Chain A
Amino acid sequence: MTKVDFNSLDIRRKAVDQVGVEERCARFKSRSIKKDAKIQGLKMALNMIDLTTLEGKDTEGKVRQLCHKASHLHYSYDGLPTVAAVCVYPSFVKLAKSLVSNKGIKVASVATAFPSGQSFLKYKIAETEEAVQEGADEIDMVISRGKFHQGEYSYVFDEIASVKEACGKARLKVILETGELGNLDAVYYASQIAIEAGADFIKTSTGKIKPAATMPVSLVMLEAIRDHYFRTGKMVGMKPAGGISNAKLALHYLIMVKETLGEAWLNNQWFRFGASSLANDLLKQLVKQESGMYQSANYFALD
């Protein structure tokens, strides 16, 4: 792969108006999603989840349980989709792969010194390569926010391009960690850098920093994806992660995707939720649509 020089790219910092972005998000939230549209939306959201466990105390047992849940979301509700992927640390990729690959569920692995990204490029590349060798279908990398704040945008760009190369056939999700970027102008610029450097998905957050995904941040990223699509005709995926734990909010995210990018993005090839507790609320709402009553949380498995 020939190296692209960051400075040769036709990208420029673009103004983003926070007040306007927030007003637009309020409009998405005023959409009323009822009946069939709701059921379809809830199932769609389930099928877009990257079911995630990223803890220091993760064990084989925990990963096994997670992987089982990925394809058996509820013990009695028929006709449910599976989640899109399970997302784990690199050391659990092999195990996860062996448990879910025959279910059509992808294995995503974080890499590149997740979550801080404060390490050397050669280790980040090595970690990525190893995760892919172990069977990861997708790599969730973090950008070097420190370098971004230092104004070393070409470093950030080159690093993403190198990790992309190390991914081979695995799809690359680039985590911007928007909670550390400080403002929406920076979110847009970081999105552009990631997309130009070869991101297959751009992703809001690691889940370790607050705020994680918010609608305004996600809208700006979706707009960056749209701008890229308008310029080049190429689609890029989006993954908000962290902080989306209830079904209503998830449905409003889907409305935002539909009205910003279009229905072509409404599937797990192009849109994901990075979440662990969202699945249960989606399930709770689905069961409620069927039975007319909310079930107690005890009926939904805590994995």
Chain B
Amino acid sequence: MAKAKKDNDWNLAPAPESTGHVKIDKKYDLFIGGKFVPPTAKKYFETVNPATEKILSQVAEAGQKDVDKAVKAARKAYDTVWSKMPPVERSKYIFRIARLIQERAREFAIIESIDGGKPIRESRDVDVPLAAAHFFYHAGWADKLNYAFPNAEVSSLGVVGQIIPWNFPLLMAAWKIAPALACGNTVVLKPAETTPLTALKLAELFMDAGLPDGVVNIITGAGSTGQALVEHSDIDKIAFTGSTQVGKMIKRSLAGKSTRLTLELGGKAANIIFEDSAIDQAVEGVVNGIYFNQGHVCCAGSRLFVEESISSEFIRKLKHRMDHLILGDPLDKNTDIGAINSEGQLNTIQSYLEAGEKDGFEMYQSNVAVPKKGFWCRPTLFTHVSQSSVISKEEIFGPVLAMQTFRTIDEVIDKANNTPYGLSAGVWTDKGSKIFNLTTKLKAGVVWANTFNKFDPTSPFGGYKESGFGREGGLHGLSAYLKITG
């Protein structure tokens, strides 16, 4: 771009969200049977602010005995209270939860940003409102399940174990808990070990909502806690969102059992840009597709396919847009790109950057300064990568975009589907017929047209192939928490 004269510099002053009213305890216990109880082994682990590397709190690590306690509490609540309660009463509790989330929206948004590193703009405008929306939506269904599945008998499953990832901690808790409760099940939920705080705050909120003891139990811990939950003999269903690798382990350990399972796993979405698209809006969609939440999004548009005739124009515009993304303090209202969730994830991302460079692809990173403390990765673009490279095959789960060019529609469909994943895809064109042609041929659970990363509780979400099975949201999402007969 044209060089600005010196006196034209106009930099935004810091605009941090105030945190005075937010309370994070020094220590959190396990939420079992309606109250916080210390873990049997008295073991705790730290949760860290990834933007400052400061320790936020000590969180209980649930062992096998604790998991058992939680499952027993959930079973008791199921047998004695929740399955017997008239559905309209269940619905009232869920509505109350939704309203309380709205009332405390700011508090939840701030804690989500502190614990996970995501920009406050996203936690405030996306995570928390959507979490509330999921409770509202499912509250409405609780007493209308027979109408959702006409001419069929529906009944609850029992106790469900739910394991959620660190990229959308509160939102994923809502995606899991809301339909489970609406359908009359009780829950044992395990949040991710790097981001447990909003789930624990949600436990406090359940107490305030007067939710009967044991209906939702929240146990914190790492992989072994999750494994204990999956392998517990009194669980009727496991719902897991996370990596494909762990998903495969879960499926293996449930083989031969009657435990139901839904998996929402990784992705490597194709975002396809045609020559006739609205290019400037497509650039914006590509940016939202891959740099939203630092690319920690299972449905992130991490593979960009651009029709070769417009590739140089597109790349120039994309780089220009990347240069205007503000990276830094997640609590600043102007931040576009926050911190990478953990040191471990940063190392993973960095190893992919090295792999891309080693393969000889041109790497572009936006020209922003990176804070000294904390875990950060500049928005990154690899241009003209090949389909056979590691960075275009494996899920990076970071702000890293791998661009390829294409010539024909058939070619781009083949390449887009040439992946073990199939969670989402994006199509950008001004021509409606092209959109319908592609949506029927792309093997992806969600295909967005002229937009990306749009979510709504009424719309089912889930994957093909190694992106998992089962749907969350909408009627399909309800059916995953019900026995449907007749």
Contact = CB atoms under 8 A, between A and B. Distances in A.
A107 to B, nearest CB: 24
Given A37-B12, A41-B10, A264 B278 contact: no
A19 B5 CA distance: 34
A259 B324 contact: yes
A254 interface: yes
Sort chain B's interface into a size bin: 20 to 34
Given A19-B450, A32-B333, A264 B8 contact: yes
A34 B18 CA distance: 14
A34 B15 contact: yes
Contacts of B125: 30
A230 B450 contact: no
A33 interface: yes
Given A20-B284, A21-B281, A223-B280, A266 B8 contact: yes
A14 B274 CA distance: 13
B4 A20 contact: no
A24 B10 contact: no
A57 B320 CA distance: 47
Contact of A20 (B10, B278, B333): B278
Nearest to A255: B12
B279 A31 contact: no
A120 to B, nearest CB: 37
B430 A263 contact: no
Interface in B1-20: 1-5, 8-15
B2 A229 contact: yes
Chain A binding surface SS class: helix
Contacts of B404: none
B156 interface: no
Name, among B125, B281, B334, the residue most crowded by chain A CB atoms within 10 Å (CB to CB): B281
B281 A36 contact: no
Given A37-B12, A266-B8, A31 B2 contact: no
Contacts of B121: 30
Given A21-B280, A230-B316, 20 more contacts: A15-B277, A19-B450, A20-B280, A20-B285, A20-B450, A31-B12, A32-B333, A33-B12, A33-B13, A37-B11, A37-B12, A44-B10, A223-B280, A229-B1, A230-B317, A259-B324, A263-B4, A263-B10, A264-B1, A267-B5
23 contacts: A15-B278, A17-B278, A17-B281, A19-B451, A20-B451, A30-B125, A32-B12, A32-B333, A34-B13, A38-B13, A40-B10, A223-B280, A229-B1, A235-B2, A254-B10, A262-B1, A262-B2, A263-B10, A264-B1, A264-B2, A264-B8, A266-B8, A267-B5
Interface of B: 1-5, 8-15, 121, 125, 276-282, 284-285, 313, 316-317, 320, 324, 333-334, 430, 450-451
Interface of A: 14-17, 19-21, 23-24, 30-38, 40-41, 44, 223, 226, 229-230, 235, 254, 258-259, 261-267
